[in-house]
Structure 1
Amino acid sequence: MKVNYFATLTTASLLSLALTAGCTQSSTQTTNPTTENTEQASSTIPNQENKTQASPTAASNESNTKANTTAANPEAGNQGVFYEEGGIAIRGTDPVAYFQQGKPVQGKPQYTYQWANITWQFSSTQNRDLFASNPEKYAPQYGGFCAWAVSQNYTAGTDPNAWTIVNDKLYLNATKGVQSTWEKDIPGNIARANQNWPGILNNLKR
């Protein structure tokens, strides 16, 4: 009887230990999915970083679009800026006459041409048509401003009678006295004016 009792007690103890071990193992296995879920959750972070990295590309595309738009719409009117009085160039003098007739000739209101946002007058339809075919050829240099003044890096009005043609280009000066000063060093004054004119033109356009 005592042997059976101890045998029964031993068996019960073993069963108890087995159950305890099983519960412990089950509890350990239950915690593993939590770790796996944590690892899976952390793997989504790079996806969020990828989304963040995608936005600069969109910004870059937007910048390129703006640049292209700007390039597609350059500043209108490439004729520059011209000296005028009352909206009329060279006080109404025919610019073509300097080349064709070798002297200033007053234009007529019935022979006009719009160019560089001002009115140019001519003494005949022939001169008007010549100008219209190539305005840059006949228009005075430096926007019709005084050639001497531009060589000194400023602007001044001009007198149609103070004129000179050099290398098929028309130069006007403020007065005949200023013209005499300019003519003392024509090549040097033209070189200095050519260097100064782009900056002066930018200031006039502002």
Structure 2
Amino acid sequence: MKFFSFILILGLLMGPQLYAQDAPSTREIGLRASDLNSFGLIYKKQISENTYRRYRLAFGNLGVNFIRSNTLVGFSAGGAMGKEKRRPISDKMQFIYGTELIASVNLNYTSAGSITVDNGNGGTTSYTGSDLLIVTPSVGIGFVLGAQYNFNPKWYISAELIPSITGSGSFGAGSALYSFQAGFNSSSAGITGAYRF
């Protein structure tokens, strides 16, 4: 838990320094999809020539289920912030690369029953009890690699991969489960359509 707190504090301390630069006013907003069921918002602000600060709201879900006398509640949210650089390939095509700090949190609650948590390594861990709350924060770094095609000065489409290294922990029911993951899967690949203003 101290590791997650350290990363969060480091990001908050570095944030104002990263934004204090005198920057052009170009901004971009778009929709990113990693499959037909997974969409997120992306916002980019130019901080120098061919360099952008990027923010992704990767996901947010809330689910409530009632099964007999049991109530199951699940909440998850995550996002990323980072820096992106662009290198021209042709008049309309650019190579994009950079890094992101990725963070997420999952909360699961059951009034009487069991909760199964993905341990991030291809397996699951189950917790059983009443009034059971499991909190799973995660933090990591992602590496952005992709290409962008500019239709005109206002619209573009990009395709990117974001392989990542993350650490997470699940806390509750008097126990803790820690995990570490590295690599990428289909959710790390995405297509973005964006508007520049």
TM-score of the pair, normalised by structure 2:
0.22
**Larger Rg, first or second structure (1 or 2):** 1
Greater strand proportion = 2
Greater helix proportion = 1
